[in-house]
Structure formats: C-alpha cells, structure tokens
Amino acid sequence: MQNQQKPLFKISNMKKYYPIKGGILKRVQGHVKAVEDVTIDVYEGETLGVERIWVWKINIRPCCA
C-alpha cells in the first residue's frame, strides 16, 4: 500500500540473532538468524500484528528392549 502520509511506526532493516553456546565454557559457537533484513511501515488506519512463537526443546530417548 502506497501512502503519502508519514508512517506512524517504522522499522528498517531489522535483524535479530540468537547465540548458540557450547563447550565447557559456554562460548558462542554461532548464531541462529531469527529475523534478517525486515522493513515495516505502519500508517494511520492500518493494523500490525506481531506473534512470538515459543519453541520447546524436547529430548526423546529410545526405550530399552
């Protein structure tokens, strides 16, 4: 949607990385790129919905035979 007004809310080139830690000293081994290069403009009369998704780590171990 092109609009001649100034945006009420603007995000440019947003990035969010989460560190991956490992080893005995829990040093950063790499990063997970959750969001990279996102740009958002919200104008009057528009609605922005943001959802945060939780990810649960589940360990599944095989049953003894």
> Domain limits of the chain?
9-42
38 Cβ neighbours under 8 A, 6+ residues apart = 11, 13, 14, 15
Q: What is the mean pLDDT of residues 42-59?
A: 74
Please state the pTM of the whole predicted model.
0.52
Average pLDDT over residues 6-32: 90
What residue ranges in the chain does DSSP mark as E strands?
9-22, 27-42
Average pLDDT over residues 5-25: 89
pLDDT in tens, 24-47: 898 999 998 888 898 888 898 888
